[in-house]
Structure 1
Amino acid sequence: MVKVLFVCLGNICRSPTAHGVFDALLKSEGLADKVAVDSAGTAAWHIGKTPDNRSQAAAKNRGVDLSYIRARQVEASDLDEYDYVLAMDKSNLENLTELSTPENRNKVKLFLEYAQHHIESEVPDPYYGGAKGFNTVLDLVEDASAGLLDDIKKRHLS
């Protein structure tokens, strides 16, 4: 089984959105039994909480349920366990790189490296912005999720 971990700061907006969108994509492609998905935050502020209500509402408008996801903090062992450890921005990428070892550092990347139609390198944090920010996150996440799935299919499922 291929394992994917999405990581942002608090694990209540960006990474659970990526988690839910990618999980829904896997189910629609019939690959949920071949790829496991999780999300985590580099900070411990929201452990055990559901995703931000605005993230849930924006995702629900696109047919994606995030209500089953609970925030957790990333652990050093995650970098050994997961095949892909994908940061939403450069700050979280740095935090993950500090947790990594030479053996697992190659698994840590920016999620938007997989985007096919957007040039942004970071998923912006919508927490302090308006509703538009949550839709922007979804646009970026949907694009990068498709690219990530293509990469997984080529590297692991062919």
Structure 2
Amino acid sequence: MMAYRVLFVCLGNICRSPMAEAVFRDRIRAAGLANQVEVSSAGTGDWHVGRPPHEGTRKLLDRHGISYEGMRASQLKREDGEAYDLIVAMDSRNEEDIRSMIGPGAKAEVIRFLTLAPELGLEDVPDPYYTGNFDEVYEMVRAGCDRLVGRIEAKGSNRD
């Protein structure tokens, strides 16, 4: 079976999307889906390419015992629209940028992250690079990633 490929995307790929990548990878492993799901992250901009996650993201993930080993910022490429099954935008501006970068007709489904957690009543995950509130973002990311794991488990059971 081909792995289901998920890509989280924010602006610079050092705060929100690598946090979501690390948390989702941790949740996927805990759910026993590590062999069925591949996860990565990217930014719409290229300012931080090659750099590790932001110190605030690293400290938060360390506190929660979640690995970010080997993670480095990368930039979204047009080909990602065909390489991934699901591209998850951290905010509405990222979603617009993703859609224009991958072009119409790309294979990947593009969604905004917080559509996974509508009970939060928010559309966009705030950028802690500007707000400094990494804990708030973690709570949103945790909620959305848990829902996404459930969505993938449901899809898997529908394939049987």
- In which range does the TM-score fall when normalised by the shorter chain? over 0.9
Give percent identity, aligned residues only: 37
Moved more, 134-143 or 93-102: 93-102
Q: Deviations over 1:96-121 (max 9, x none)?
A: 11123332276111011111642211
Q: Distance in 2 between the 1:117 and 1:34 partners?
A: 28
Q: Deviations over 1:31-60 (max 9, x none)?
A: 111000000000000111000011110111
Q: Which residue of 2 aligns with 1:142?
A: 142
1:119 counterpart = 2:147: no
| Matched-pair contact (CA < 8 Å) for 1:97–1:105 | no
Residue aligned with 2:149, SS: helix
Q: Distance in 2 between the 1:51 and 1:76 partners?
A: 23
| Matched-pair contact (CA < 8 Å) for 2:85–2:108 | no
| Matched-pair contact (CA < 8 Å) for 1:11–1:41 | yes
| Matched-pair contact (CA < 8 Å) for 1:8–1:87 | yes
Q: Which residue of 2 aligns with 1:77?
A: 79
Q: How high is the TM-score relative to the length of structure 1?
A: 0.93
The root-mean-square deviation of aligned C-alpha atoms, in Å, is 1.5
Which runs of no fewer than 5 residues in structure 1 stay unpaired?
none
Q: How high is the TM-score relative to the length of structure 2?
A: 0.91
Residue aligned with 2:121, SS: coil
Q: Which residue of 1 aligns with 2:57?
A: 55
- Residue number among 99, 102, 111 corresponding to 1:100 in the alignment: 102
The alignment covers a number of residue pairs equal to: 156
Q: Which AA in structure 2 matches 1:139? A: E
Which runs of no fewer than 5 residues in structure 2 stay unpaired?
none
Q: Distance in 2 between the 1:113 and 1:91 partners?
A: 14
Q: Distance in 2 between the 1:102 and 1:136 partners?
A: 33
| Matched-pair contact (CA < 8 Å) for 2:87–2:111 | yes
Q: Deviations over 1:80-139 (max 9, x none)?
A: 110110000011101011123332276111011111642211110001233xx1001110
